[in-house]
Structure 1
Amino acid sequence: MTVVEHPAVVERVGKWLGTLPAGWTGARLFELADAWTSNVDKHSVDGEQLVRLSNYVDVYHNDSIVESLDFMTATAAREQIKRFRIRIGDTLITKDSEAADDIGIPAFVEYEADDLICGYHLAIVRPMPKKVVPKFLFWTLRSEPIAGQWAVLASGVTRVGIRSADLKKVTIPRPPLGEQQVIADFLDRETARIDALVAKQEELIVLLRQRRSAAAELAVSGVRPTGSRLKHVIRSVRQGWSPQCYAWPADGIEKWAVLKAGAANGGIFRPTENKELPANENPRPEIVVRRNDLIVSRANTRDLVGSAAVVEGDFPRLMMSDKLYAFVLDERRAIPRFVATVLGSERWRDLIEIEATGASSSMLNISQGDIVNLPMTLPPVEEQRRALAELDEQTVRIDDLIVKAKEHIAFAKERRAALITAAVTGQFDVRTVASTRKAN
């Protein structure tokens, strides 16, 4: 018997999923799965049971929840453990975030334990037996049509989220169960192939960055960490200011903005690492960065405190935060980019980390005095210039290879996303593709 669907259902399915193959239907999530949000946060409460949380980061950065993940520990009440314990076959999704694009990111649960529960800012989606194949449901929730629906359903201003009442409203494709399994198996295989290619490109980038670091180390190998101090080539120092700013960045040219501590990370000046200054705050032109300033991070993690970079360009409305210093060097004796390269080298990183202080490794500080008193006997300017030219010759080639590797990764990820969407919406028959590959 042919099932005639209500015109409103047909319209809704067509809007989000397009034209589905014969024998497929569209269904609301609540028709195929239970879904509910967790209220278990990361705090510990006396008298509650110790548990492990599968938290937001576990879901956001992984396709699967597996035993090897480093789960956070917390406590939960008995009824919370019962309600939010995850099971193999569940899909966890991100429910809240700062951007709508980060809503509804799924991870498939492949590991369960009595003490492993779903954490705050997440929701559990549990497939109904005999109505949907669990892995097919996961891949469907990973597809672009579903992501588009989450973006529409998300509400909020500074932080957006999916209301519990809206969680089950998304429309998903529903092929016959046997076909769901075939699609899920196909996507498991094909995405694994793509992920392996991406992993190889990421490994290549790591090796290329190591080569780049080695080239930089060689360029400054003649500088000795003894004798003269850095202060002998410094003409002036400025420190920034940290007012309460908007969360979003500004251009620093037409609109006033304050640089964040990360603006000097990795030896590269990043002008977009800033926050826009509110209109009710008076700007301070005296702390605007200037071309050829040597910017140094005063406060950061152990690996990044003391990071140095040179301002390349003019940003008349881009101010430093109080976590940054700007050093103006005597360029007759010191080329700013050469000094930044020295400060980023292994020997000076060790000196900086020794001088840095702080109660927590997540945020250390280094004083202006410690920076200017770093020992640094620089070669003549002509030798500095020659070393930078040789370094540029090598790094241009390395950077080009890194860019190409990143392009390959971006293309592979786009192909992966398109493949998932096409498979779960029936844009092609996965069985035909699989049989063609076997024939070849």
Structure 2
Amino acid sequence: MSRYNIYPECHESGIAWLNKLPTHWELDRFKNIFKIQKRIAGTLGHDVLSITQKGVKIKDTESGDGQLSMDYSKYQIVKKDDFAMNHMDLLTGYVDISKFDGVTSPDYRVFTINEQKHHPRYFLYLLQLCYIAKIFYPLGQGAAQIGRWRLPTEAFNEFVTPVPTYREQQLITTFLDHETAKIDALIEKQQRLIELLKEKRQAVISHAVTKGLNPNAPMKDSGVEWLGEVPAHWGMTKFHYEIDLLEGPGILANDFHDEGVPLLRIQNVKDEFVSRDYKTYLSPSKVRAKWDHFRVAQGDLIISCSATTGLVSEVGEDTVGAVPYTGLIRLRPQVKASITKEFIRCLVQSDLFFEQIKLLQSGSTIQHFGPYHLQQMHITLPALTEQNKIAKAVKEKTARLDKLISIADQQIELMQERRTALISAAVTGKIDVRDWPAAA
């Protein structure tokens, strides 16, 4: 932040998260700045609004996706330019100024600026900072472990905030709009780069498991219209003929404990190896009685039942014996199978896998798949020696792409940190933007 000016005179604010403030800035409470609205719709026919971390969006109530209400007449009115805040979840909730008229959940908080001397977008930057930097979090109540850590009305009303002059609020908003737009554009470029790298990664894997490594190999018709030709010496077989598969059991919440046998969930299946980031455990005696055959062994592969994730993780020695939850499928070569674990990993990340999932789900509104779909799936089957060569080549090529993806992810993280730091510095008076020229 050294490139920006600082205020010549500051004093201690007495507020821990603010520290020093410019001497001419005031402090005030939200109850003197905002007016909470509670206007129940009473009728149907309104757009239903959802408060997301990307802003207030109009919800698609026709598709059936997500949690839907049967009676939107009991929802509260949101007018264009109102603040709408998901104060029920300080972990994943957010706040934004609505660009739409509509209705939203009566559990959310809708409010307006109550005086002309306050600039809405200055306070929007400040409110969003309170979510991102978890400034509201110590004031929350509820059960954070199940995503219900809310900000009570009294805590919201009594929250103490810095209040620059209206002119400074305007200047800070203009400065942040300009500077964050530049950062957001750079983040978008990195996100697009990641998409392209992931597409390239997918293409590398898909080509290897359907065409092989030898571009001059004789080819034959696979018999599958969308797949086309495969190497003439390869076989084609059913997925479950070569791969043993088992989806994890459905387990009720009253069987969850704070210690015991680890339960694998989707957050454990994000890297090359299954992570030990356990949140839930099962009773050892209950596992022995009901779920012992679901326990994973070293070398097992775990995939998610969501066709969009493409996640596959291997069980290492430190996660042996855990039980996968429903929605995760354990894969391992069948006894006396003609397939390797490494080739299975390639197959379940390829278009050969995902295209069949799409075809098998045709006409269904359910986006997940399960053992029923996998049992109908066909796979390519080179000789074991060729499988090993393919898996090795894929690992080398994807490792390079994964490194580039990781670097891009790190760049995004650094830019997001800079964005947050810039907003924090501007709205709390750590930098003086009164003489800031946009051209600089």
Counterpart amino acid of residue 292 in structure 1: G
Counterpart amino acid of residue 50 in structure 1: G
Q: Percent of aligned positions with the same letter in both sequences? A: 23
Counterpart amino acid of residue 26 in structure 2: T
Of residues 150, 161, 164, the one that matches 1:161 is 150
Taking structure 2 as the reference length, what is the TM-score of the superposition?
A: 0.78
C-alpha displacement at 1:242, in angstroms?
A: 2.7
Of residues 78, 89, 92, the one that matches 2:84 is 92
Q: Is 1:55 matched with 2:50?
A: yes
The aligned counterpart of 1:316 is 320
Taking structure 1 as the reference length, what is the TM-score of the superposition?
A: 0.78
Alignment of 1:60-71 (within 5 A): 60-62=53-55, 65=56, 69-71=57-59
The aligned counterpart of 1:233 is 242
Check conservation: 1:56, 1:121, Cα contact below 8 A.
Answer: no
Q: Is 1:340 matched with 2:340?
A: no
Query: Structure 1 residues 141 and 232, CA, compared in 2 at 3 Å: closer, same or farther?
Result: closer
Query: Structure 1 residues 260 and 211, CA, compared in 2 at 3 Å: closer, same or farther?
Result: same
Deviations 1:371-401 (A, max 9, x none): 3453334111221111122212211111111
Q: Distance in 1 between matches of 2:430 and 2:275?
A: 43
Check conservation: 1:229, 1:373, Cα contact below 8 A.
Answer: yes
The aligned counterpart of 1:16 is 17
Q: Distance in 1 between matches of 2:36 and 2:299?
A: 55
Of residues 244, 251, 254, the one that matches 2:252 is 244
Check conservation: 2:255, 2:283, Cα contact below 8 A.
Answer: no
Query: Structure 1 residues 261 and 345, CA, compared in 2 at 3 Å: closer, same or farther?
Result: same
RMSD: 3.5
Counterpart amino acid of residue 323 in structure 2: M
Q: Distance in 1 between matches of 2:347 and 2:280?
A: 32
Query: Structure 1 residues 163 and 334, CA, compared in 2 at 3 Å: closer, same or farther?
Result: same
Q: Distance in 2 between matches of 1:246 and 1:415?
A: 43
Check conservation: 2:202, 2:351, Cα contact below 8 A.
Answer: no
**SS state at 1:406 partner:** helix
How many equivalent pairs are there? Answer: 395
Q: Distance in 1 between matches of 2:153 and 2:37?
A: 7
Q: Is 1:426 matched with 2:429?
A: yes
Of residues 113, 125, 138, the one that matches 2:111 is 125
Alignment of 1:120-199 (within 5 A): 120-144=106-130, 148-157=134-143, 158=146, 159-199=148-188
Deviations 1:300-348 (A, max 9, x none): 44546x9755434441341123444434315873111212322332233
Q: Distance in 1 between matches of 2:132 and 2:59?
A: 27
C-alpha displacement at 1:414, in angstroms?
A: 0.5
Q: Distance in 2 between matches of 1:249 and 1:386?
A: 44
Q: Distance in 2 between matches of 1:307 and 1:146?
A: 28
Alignment of 1:392-431 (within 5 A): 392-431=395-434
Alignment of 1:268-283 (within 5 A): 270-271=274-275, 275-279=279-283, 282-283=286-287
Query: Structure 1 residues 352 and 269, CA, compared in 2 at 3 Å: closer, same or farther?
Result: farther
Counterpart amino acid of residue 135 in structure 1: R
Q: Distance in 2 between matches of 1:15 and 1:322?
A: 45
Deviations 1:86-134 (A, max 9, x none): 232x32222112xx4335x22123x243xx1333442123112323111
Query: Structure 1 residues 366 and 232, CA, compared in 2 at 3 Å: closer, same or farther?
Result: closer
Check conservation: 1:32, 1:131, Cα contact below 8 A.
Answer: no
**SS state at 1:198 partner:** helix
Further displaced range: 379-388 or 319-328? 319-328
Alignment of 1:239-388 (within 5 A): 239-245=247-253, 255-260=260-265, 270-271=274-275, 275-279=279-283, 282-284=286-288, 285-297=292-304, 300-301=305-306, 303=308, 309-329=313-333, 330=335, 333-356=338-361, 360-367=365-372, 371-372=374-375, 374-388=377-391
Q: Distance in 2 between matches of 1:328 and 1:13?
A: 61
Query: Structure 1 residues 264 and 39, CA, compared in 2 at 3 Å: closer, same or farther?
Result: farther
Structure 1 residues without counterparts, runs of 5 or longer: 1-9, 41-46
Q: Distance in 1 between matches of 2:383 and 2:155?
A: 67
Q: Is 1:214 matched with 2:214?
A: no
Q: Which has the higher helix share?
A: 1
Q: Distance in 2 between matches of 1:101 and 1:400?
A: 30
Counterpart amino acid of residue 182 in structure 2: R
Query: Structure 1 residues 21 and 331, CA, compared in 2 at 3 Å: closer, same or farther?
Result: farther
C-alpha displacement at 1:272, in angstroms?
A: 5.4
